[in-house]
Chains A and B, each alone.
Chain A
Amino acid sequence: MLFLISSCLAVLAERFQLTPQLLHVSVNSSLQRVYLQWTIPNLTYHQELKMVFQIEISQIKKSNVILVANHSSAVRGDRAVHWSWDSELPLECVTHFVRVRGALDDARAPQPGSWSKWSPWEEAHVSLGPNELLVYPKEKLVEEGSNVTFCWISGVNLNNISCYLSGIAIHGERLDAHVSTFKWNNVLFHRDTGTNFFCRHTNPTTYDGVTVFVSKVLEEPKDFSCETRDFRTLSCTWKPGVDTALAWSKQPSQRYALFEWVSGENKHCELKNSCNWQITQDSQELYNFTLTAENYLRKRSVNIAFNVSHRVHPKAPHDVNFDDVSATRARMTWRVHSRGKSHTFLCQVELHCEGQMIQEHNVSVHESGEQLFGDLQPDTRYKAQVRCADANHFWKWSEWTPRNFHTLEAAPSEAPDAWRTVTSENGRRKVALFWKSPSKSRVNGKFPFYNIVVKNMENSSEVQQHALQAPVNSTWLSLGQSSYLIQITFTNSQGTSPALVMGISRDSGNEEVEAERVDGTKEGFMISWKPQTRDVVGYVVDWCANSQGQHCNLQWKNLGPNATSTNISSDAFKKGVRYNFRVYEISAHRIAHLIQKNVGYIQELAPLKSPDVILSNPTSHSFVLNWTTYATESQPGFIEGYHVYVKSKDAQCPQEWEEVVLKGDTHFSAPDTLRREVLGYIFSIGGSTFTTKPSLPYMLLQIILSMTMCVLFLLGLCYWKSQWVKEKCYPDIPDPYKSSIRSLIKSKKPPLTIMSVKDCIPDALEIINKSEGTKTQGGGTGKLHAENAPTKLAYLRLLPTEGSSGPGPCICFENFTYNQPASDCGSCGHISVPPRDPPYHLELLTSPNNLLNVLEKDYTNSLGEIPAEQSSLNYVSQLASLVCGDKDSLATDPPMPQHCSEYKMQMNISLSSMILLGQGKH
């Protein structure tokens, strides 16, 4: 039989060329997919053969084969073979050619069949007008990350085409003269309305475009789970991921569907993140779900399998109630949504007070549960809440079911915490009582009243009662000098608290204890004390939280009988604030005795305020400073002392302040070392400066002494001066050698012109006086020494010839020490000598500096305002020459202006004269 079949097949293959016949070629443009259908015409309907086909696809021209694909299929005469191919390039872009051939591929055949003939080429192409421009693919839908190839076909008249992708110009690849392509790789999602690609030709103007829709990648659903709350419905939930919907109805949002494998049922989910599944009543416990997300481009699935009894999420407990609520206890009951008494729930119960959980309990429950809360505070609001879960297969807790309740009030359980201060005023004592606002544990109820009973221990009939309602927390009492017992209680609607008893002794308020310093730290103050008596039931340390003053805000700390120290700490303690602590010993009779005082700072700070200083009793050598009003206790640190700075007022140069350090004193008297005139003083803690004033007698004395000294000095100076002038200017015998000009002339040694006496023509010679021993000066070189000078002056006068009108040759023995103005100097007779050599004068005036200095100094007043061209004719009135030079003739010969005696020569001329004289000595 097998042989027969094989023979038949061989015959078939040989006799009939199994050439396929293409029946239909279709295109899905958006998918760019080519569908082929062909048959084998020579087969009869009942014949079925396994064949392999080869498909060849060419682009543009037949020889350009771009694909050769094989496809195996069973063929029958009445059945067409289907095949499809997805093209990367839009099919409309170029002409495509396709053909098919086949061969037997049947195992029954004795040998593999040879290929049949190719079917005829089928051609698909685009034809367009000469001015048309087309862009492909139209309506492309792709997934993000894939590639898209655009092509554009232009008519023969269109040569310059510009193309744009989302408005950006692109450059394509030319396939032939009228077809170009552009490949957009790894496309990204920009907008759900699609991305536009268009091409344009300007002349003639035409354009075409397409819109490519890029879908986001469909994500796999996450956190897929199912549970039941009532054993009737399974609620499945998941996180859907991104929505892949696109506009223009190109792609709706992804759809979700549930498929249950046990039952084989399928359900389309309306919502994108949840779906309900009805639990069948046929006791199906196992469920195997597949959740599928699907859009036009992709499917994503996730799977879960579970036992429904393990996926029970109970509903929140209900009917939660409280009964038997007292001041300290309460009982809570609740019910659960149960499948029956056989099912067990684990319930969690929490008790909260003032926002904090204070109790937690776990309770096993079948249908209903209860929980008793103890150790509750009276008159307190609580919140209790309960939730439950499946006890056998825990899946999820139910939601909490909360309820509030309030415990009842109770009588106050503890005595008030109170304290007192005692001050004596005008023979009575003022007792201020303070008590702390009681905690709820003390009051146990609302609106407490404070009851204060004061008993006079020495007079039992004297009893005071006071009732105060919260929130008052202080009061004061006025008591006499007896001993008293004070009882403080507080009361609410349920009863009265134990009493706090305080005794006031006769001494209370009058204790004198020296305060000791205590060093504070950031952690507070460590207060230590020594027990004073054995009969002690406790200690109390009190202090003002706000330092001293009216707003004391008294604080206290109760300590046991064995305590000898305690650390007082408070967040209210501040740097630079002085705190006073008092330690009281409480006796068995509840009487407090002050045993210690301490004062200290958490941290000392520098003083902020300088003392207000009063200066008193200032004298010329003493003063007193007082700053008794300086409040050291209000300073931000202990005042260790004061610095007084003093310096003398009459110091000429900047003088250092002299420092005096005072320890504790609040006054300052100038000590002996400082008993002098002082300019002022400065405190180290301030900038006050005081200046003391010298006393009037002292000032007068000083002025008189100064004036006296000045007068004496001037007198002495005048005397010396007069002697000096007398000697220099009009000695008994004028001695030119005594003239200081000689030294100048000597030192400079200028070229001199010798003037001989014989050059002068004497008209008359008069000898006035001549004493013995006087040397004749005519051309001699001898010196006239002062010690040899005669006691009577002798003058030699050279008288001019009568009738002589012009200035004749004159000789002037001028004492050059006459630098003073003529009014106060003795003048001398002189002889005018006309200038002979002006250049020489110039040289003389400019070269000797010393001389110039002298001249400038002496004649500034007379020469300063005179122009240079007139300076050689500057005259100084010299009527005194005769007076000066001839004292003896004053009485007999009144001064008469005479030639050569009326004027003192202008200085440069006289210089010349003097130089001539000097030269003559040599």
Chain B
Amino acid sequence: MRGCSRSYAQLLSQLQNQANMEENPNLLLEPYIHLQDLDTDILRNSCMVYPSVFPSEDALRALSKPGFLHAVHATLGRLWNSLTALQKQLLQDQDLPRLTITKHNIQGMRNNIHCLAWWLGSPLETSEPTQGGSRVSLTPTPALDVFWSKMKSCRLLWGYHHFIGLVGRVFREWEDNPNRSRRHSPLRLVLPKGTRKIRPSRRGQRPVRRAQRPR
């Protein structure tokens, strides 16, 4: 394919490196927590909820390689839009300088995934759809007030680092058998201490406000 590396190993290596780099929460999550005045144990714990917008580990591991690539590609595409929306919340880009680099890396990963899918003989157009979360928009809901938008963006970033870490581990498992396109063998996902659960959850989301306006 034009513009793609012909080396499977090189593509895989690049994806692994990109995932390893973006997995670090000190790049985005921590600066965001400090920037948005969320640096308390209560809010941090509330932030560490794997958003339902990301595919779960079980869902990803249940996919074939092309399906996995398709799911990651699609999720990263939505994530890129979400980060763009998040960027607009800032007064200036310098407040979260790593965000722009992350967006570039997401585009680079998507390109590499596209090439890898082509290398595997399963272009993304023919890939099976990702299970779970694919239809959920990652764009912050405008109706949320600022506090809950901060919390949602915080979860988005935590989920991003977590999701990228998961993707990286899967890619590392691909090193041994590049031609294998069967489903992955299940792998337990080791979560950081204090994480409540992996599966998509609605807990911790903003409660429904039922206050009545004065008549």
Contact = CB atoms under 8 A, between A and B. Distances in A.
Nearest to A133: B207
A206 to B, nearest CB: 6
B42 interface: yes
Contact of A196 (B37, B211, B212): B37
Nearest to A191: B37
B149 interface: yes
Residue of B42, B146, B150, B213 most packed against chain A (CB within 10 A): B146
Contacts of A658: none
A245 B150 contact: no
Contacts of B37: 166-167, 190-191, 193-196, 211
A455 B147 CA distance: 105
Contacts of B42: 164, 198, 200, 207
Contact of B146 (A91, A126, A167, A250): A250
Contacts of A132: 207, 210
Contacts of B214: 25-27, 34, 91, 96, 122-125
B146 A211 contact: yes
A207 to B, nearest CB: 7
Interface stretch (B74-82, B89-97, B127-135): B89-97
A167 B40 contact: yes
A639 B145 CA distance: 97
B212 to A, nearest CB: 6
Contacts of A198: 42-43, 147
B46 interface: yes
A275 to B, nearest CB: 23
Interface in B20-52: 35-40, 42-43, 46
Nearest to B90: A247
B202 interface: no
Contacts of B39: 167
B209 interface: yes
B145 A138 contact: yes
Interface in A128-147: 128-129, 132-134, 138-139
Interface string A640-658: 0000000000000000000
B197 interface: no
Contact of A123 (B43, B88, B215): B215
A192 interface: yes
Given A124-B215, A133-B207, A190-B37, A246 B147 contact: no
Interface range on chain A (Cβ under 8 Å from partner): 35 or more
Interface band, chain B: 20 to 34
A514 to B, nearest CB: 85
A140 to B, nearest CB: 10
Nearest to B42: A200
Contacts of A3: none
A299 to B, nearest CB: 22
Q: Most B CB atoms within 10 A — which of A126, A139, A209, A210?
A: A209
Given A167-B39, A246-B91, A247-B91, A126 B207 contact: no
Nearest to B214: A124
Interface in A105-132: 122-129, 132
A247 B95 contact: yes
A585 interface: no
Interface string B136-170: 00000000011111110000000000000000000
A248 interface: yes
A196 B150 contact: yes
A687 B20 CA distance: 78
A198 B150 CA distance: 12
Given A191-B35, A198-B42, A122 B215 contact: yes
Given A164-B42, A193-B37, A196-B37, A211 B150 contact: yes
Contacts of A192: 91
A92 B209 CA distance: 12
B84 to A, nearest CB: 15
B210 A128 contact: yes
A208 interface: yes
A248 B207 CA distance: 21
Contacts of B90: 193, 247
Nearest to A209: B147
Nearest to A213: B146
Interface string B160-197: 00000000000000000000000000000000000000
Contacts of A122: 214-215
A167 B214 CA distance: 32
A160 to B, nearest CB: 14
A122 B36 CA distance: 39
Interface in A20-39: 25-27, 34
B38 to A, nearest CB: 7
B35 to A, nearest CB: 6
Nearest to B36: A193
A297 to B, nearest CB: 17
Contact of B38 (A27, A139, A196): A196
B152 to A, nearest CB: 12
A783 B149 CA distance: 143
Nearest to B149: A248
A127 B214 CA distance: 11
B172 to A, nearest CB: 36
A91 B147 CA distance: 19
B213 A27 contact: yes
A125 B212 contact: yes
Contacts of A213: 146
A533 to B, nearest CB: 88
Given A207-B46, A247-B91, A248-B89, A92 B211 contact: yes
A211 B36 CA distance: 10
A246 B36 CA distance: 12
Contacts of B145: 138-139, 210-211
Contact of B207 (A27, A195, A206, A250): A206
B215 A126 contact: no
B23 to A, nearest CB: 25
A214 to B, nearest CB: 11
B93 to A, nearest CB: 12
Contacts of A250: 146
Interface in B58-95: 88-91, 95
A195 to B, nearest CB: 6
A128 B211 contact: yes
A122 B215 CA distance: 8
Interface in A87-104: 91-92, 96
Contacts of B40: 164, 167
Interface string A576-593: 000000000000000000
A247 B32 CA distance: 13
> Which of A167, A193, A245 is most buried by chain B, counting CB atoms within 10 A of its CB?
A193
Contacts of A123: 214-215
A586 to B, nearest CB: 79
B146 A194 contact: yes
Contacts of A139: 145-146
B14 to A, nearest CB: 35
Nearest to B46: A207
A737 B198 CA distance: 132
A197 to B, nearest CB: 8
A211 B209 contact: no
Contacts of A249: 88-89
A658 to B, nearest CB: 87
A246 B40 CA distance: 22
Contacts of B151: 209
Contacts of B147: 138, 196, 198, 208-211
17 contacts: A27-B213, A34-B214, A96-B214, A124-B213, A124-B214, A124-B215, A132-B210, A134-B211, A167-B37, A191-B35, A191-B37, A192-B91, A193-B36, A193-B37, A198-B43, A211-B146, A247-B95
Q: A-B pairs with the 5 shortest C-beta distances?
A: A124-B214, A167-B40, A211-B146, A247-B91, A209-B147
Given A134-B211, A164-B42, A196-B37, 15 more contacts: A25-B215, A27-B213, A122-B215, A128-B211, A132-B207, A139-B146, A167-B37, A196-B36, A196-B150, A198-B147, A208-B207, A209-B148, A211-B145, A249-B88, A249-B89
